[in-house]
Amino acid sequence: MNLHGPTPPPLVPLRVAFHFDVVCPWCYIGKRRLDAAIRMRPSYRVDIVWRLFLLAPNLPRQGIERNAYLKEKYGSIDRAERIFEAADEVGRSAGIAFDFKKMDRASNSINAHRLMNLAVKCGKGDAAIESLFLAYFVNGQDIGKTETLVEVATKLGITAEDAHDLFSGKEGVTPVLFSSRSARNQGINVVPTYVIDDRFTLSGVQNPEVLARAFDSAAAFTINRLNRKPPQR
């Protein structure tokens, strides 16, 4: 006799590969929308796999003055500002208080991604990506600087010694470069990009409802596979 009522059905497992760069404001929005989609589907057990992507792999390690970078990338500061105004407006709906005026350098993100990989190994991937986005886009910190990244690391519970050890050598560089090149080889040139159960790929910022429906489609494949009876012999 079950005194606790019927046993709830098991959660349907889903795997979402989230391709992102921590210096991309749309990836910040895209991550928040992914979170919202997951909340909309509590019957799924969603495992997020963080896929690192370098939007500007040839940017100097020390970064460059931001206005110079924006002019080179967008053709003019005015055009760049219009794009970021749009990101600011969309970001508010996701609970993000962008402060682009605080940012004076375009950061090379490779070391931030190295820290991200270390944090993932420590089970702190979600907290790390949020902390890096916050440092760059809200607090206006240069996340290419070791001091900034050590500060982020210690707030995540990673010791300053471990963080300094990471950045004092080349450990963790190859996985970041491999992840970015691998994505480009797969035809991924836009971030954020979501790949759900290796079946559905959605590029660019998506509404939570769109992501949730993609979860449903992927889950249907999983459920059908699990319910499929083996052939009679």
The residue assigned the tokens 């190859």 is 174
- Amino acid letter, residue 209: E
The DSSP bridge pattern shows strands 64-65 and 44-52 to be unpaired
Domain boundaries, the chain: 12-219
Mean of all residue pLDDT scores within the chain: 93
The CATH fold assigned to 12-219 is Glutaredoxin (3.40.30)
For the entire predicted model, the pTM comes to 0.91
- Least confident range from 1-5, 12-16, 44-48, 167-171: namely 1-5
Residue 3 clears pLDDT 60, i.e. is over it: no
- Amino acid letter, residue 67: N
Q: Of 51, 47, 48, 46, which Cα lies nearest the Cα of 216? A: 46
Q: For 7-45, write each residue's pLDDT tens digit.
A: 456 789 999 999 999 999 999 999 999 999 999 999 999
